[in-house]
Structure 1
């Protein structure tokens, strides 16, 4: 009887151990898969050796600010690369010219093993989403690779990005980054400001200032209290201010861009005669 008892316990122990090991092995792949949980794939860009997977929260590119997550898969093994360095070049092909757009560097996402991230700001697109392509250059163990393909960029419903010529004869791009989910009350307004140095180069503009005057055109063009102008932050290379929204609906964020000498490069005050600045962004919630 004792020998049967010990045999039963031994079988039970081995069964539990086997199940535990099997579960541990099964959990390895979901950990990698879950690193993009909550994101939607925009597109795969493939070459002979690897597949670049592009993700964001919408599953599409839109004009304005796009936060992008990226993974790199080895086509031969179906495994994801953990150590690589990246750069990218979005390109807009127009009938007589081509140009790029503001974009960040690409870095490993915090707390992730296989996900890299950055942002791209598309300042324009065609009505059918065509015209853009993207090239991703990357290096693994000292070997350089490249992958490229056409992409679709769709027009945002509201003007969340604007490109303009300043009074200093330089072209600038301003893009709204936050708020993502506006509320009635005080919102953190964050925008990026970029200078077009060439068709391919759009560096961040530092230490300018932006005057803010939000208005509701459909409600007598009234403003709101407790707004603050935007100032540059070295911590993230962005401009921050307080945006007060007193009710839901369509808002025009009237802006004036000033350089380090407080010279107005673009935009005007809103008055009874001038109901909207020539430099503005739109928001609706």
Structure 2
């Protein structure tokens, strides 16, 4: 009889713990995961006869990966400035006046069909009372150089499906991984896209500000992100899913793979980041054991997801 009572008590405790944990993460699912598809103006400024407009999805720049469109128009002739060299350098300034940057496309590409200059920025922090961001934009027209310094705001990314992480690898280099897609995943196999970037340590002292050599990042080439997605909540038992595919680099320079979400809730994308020779730069394998009532183990390199 005592044995039976003990078993009943254990079952009750486990079920209660599972219910509490599950309620917690289900309450979090109210987080907005709207999929934005329209590019809208973020900010605009003028230089001489030219108006420069920065556009982004939803008209907002977020912490993490952002595709940006830059439009330059002549207010006198009412025409767009087409196919000239345009550079874009985002600079962050902290409360002590220290300046830094983030992964970005410095030389923007002109899209003749759409009539804008295309690039990306991966913001590593949002704007607040101690952090501000400015865009240093240069272009040349009729042998005259235009240089613009335009402040803008970076908002917190509330969609955890577009989360990011920054880390120092075993090679002592500084890396950033930023999720690009999906914005709004489904209970299915999802195409998982990420950008991977490395800070280029300056080889000389800084020149005249803003000296690009101090703020340079490069796209990491031909590496692999080994993927192990799991639900770390105690109620979920650290279970994974089948048919996932590691992320490898495609022709767009981004890294593409597949993640299979078998249900909504908290997921952790556990990674092992490997170079072209298969050497591990960061990340550890996690246990494959089912652990109901115990929070799941995470790799030393991971990104949390919620949808």
TM-score by length of 1: 0.79
Q: Quick one: which of 195, 200, 205 aligns to 1:197? A: 200
1:279 aligns with 2:301: yes
Would you say 1:257 and 2:273 are equivalent positions? yes
Equivalent residue number for residue 239 of structure 2: 222
Gap regions ≥5 residues in structure 1: 1-36
Q: Specify the alignment match of 1:162 in structure 2.
A: 165
Shift of 1:109: 2.4
Does the CA-based 8 Å contact 1:130-1:152 persist in structure 2?
A: no
**Greater Cα shift, 144-153 or 134-143:** 134-143
Aligned position for 1:81: 81
| Structure 2 residue aligned with 1:3 | none
Alignment pair present for 1:146 and 2:147: yes
Instruction: State the distance in 2 between where 1:108 and 1:129 align.
Output: 34
Does residue 191 of structure 2 align to residue 188 of structure 1? yes
Deviations 1:127-160 (A, max 9, x none): 4594211111112244321111211111212371
How many Å separate the matches in 1 of 2:68 and 2:122?
Answer: 10
Superposed, which structure 2 residues align to 1:99-118 within 5 Å?
99-104=100-105, 105-109=107-111, 111-112=113-114, 114-118=115-119
Structure 1: distance between partners of 2:166 and 2:55: 26
CA deviations over 1:57-111 (Å, ceiling 9, x no partner): 2111111110111111223344332332211100011226311111123112252
Q: What is the aligned partner in structure 1 of residue 18 from structure 2?
A: none
1:23-73 residue CA offsets vs partner (Å, 9 max, x unmatched): xxxxxxxxxxxxxx9321100032233221011221111111101111112
| In structure 1, distance between residues paired with 2:183 and 2:140 | 33
Give, in whole Å, the separation in 2 of the partners of 1:130 and 1:194.
22
Contact 1:127 1:155 in 2 (8 A): no
Structure 2 residues not aligned, in runs of 5+: 1-36, 202-213, 290-294
1:72 aligns with 2:72: yes
Show the counterpart of 1:238: 254
Q: Is the 8 A contact 1:129 1:152 kept in 2?
A: no
- What is the alpha-carbon distance in structure 2 between the residues aligned to residue 236 and residue 268 of structure 1? 28
1:178 to 177, 181, 188: 181
Higher relative contact order at CA 8 Å, sep ≥6: structure 1 or structure 2? Answer: 2
**SS of equivalent residue, structure 1 residue 203:** strand
Question: Do the aligned residues in 2 keep the contact of 1:83 with 1:140 (CA within 8 Å)?
Answer: no
SS in 2 for 1:76: coil
User: In structure 1, how many angstroms separate the alpha carbons of the residues matched to 2:301 and 2:110?
Assistant: 35
Say if 2:90 and 2:134, in contact at 8 Å, map to a contact too. yes
Once residues 116 and 240 of structure 1 are traced to their aligned partners in structure 2, the CA distance between those partners, rounded to angstroms, is: 24
2:228 is matched with 213
Partners in 1 of 2:142 and 2:191 — Cα distance?
A: 41
Paired residue secondary structure (1:217): coil
Count residues in correspondence: 247
